[in-house]
Amino acid sequence: MKGVNRALGGQLNHYAAVAAGSALGSVLRYGVSLACLAFVGSGFPWATLGVNLLGSWLIAWWATRASATPGGFIQRWQSFVVAGFCGGFTTFSLFSLESLTLLQTHAPLTALAYFLLTPPLWLAFAAWGAQVARRS
C-alpha cells in the first residue's frame, strides 16, 4: 500500500478522506430527502434546497477557516469536509432534475421560482458562512 501511496504523490489519505466524506454526505442527503418527503410532501423540493443552502454555508465557512489557520485541524480535515462531505451532501444535478420535473408536471411558476431563487440563495449562504468564519 505504501508503494501505491507513493505513486499517487502521497495523496492516498486525501482520496480516502474524500471518499469517506462523500459517502457520509450522500447518505445524510438521502435521509434528509426522505424526512422532508414524509413531513412536507413532494410539492416543492425543500430537501434539495435545504441541503444545498446548508452545504453552501458549510463549505464557505470551512474554506475560510482553513485559509485563516494554515496547517491546523480545520485545514487537515478539508479534503474530508469540503470535497468529500459537502460534495456528497449537496447536489446540483438533483436541482436540475427537480427543476425539469416541475416544468414537466405543469408547475411552471414553481419551477421558475425554484430555478431563479436557488442560486442567489446558495451565494448568500456561502457569503454568510464565510462571514461567520472570519468572526470566529
Task: Show binding-site residues for Na(+).
Answer: 87, 90
Question: Quick one: cell of 63?
Answer: 474554506
Check if the beta carbon of residue 25 is closer than 8 Å to that of residue 87.
yes
- Closest among 99, 92, 91 to 115, alpha carbons compared: 99
CA distance 59 to 88: 12
- Over residues 81-104, the pLDDT tens digits come to 999 999 999 999 899 999 999 999
Query: pTM for the full model?
Result: 0.85
Task: Show binding-site residues.
Answer: 87, 90
Parse the chain into domains and list their residue ranges.
2-135
**Over the chain, what is the mean pLDDT?**
91
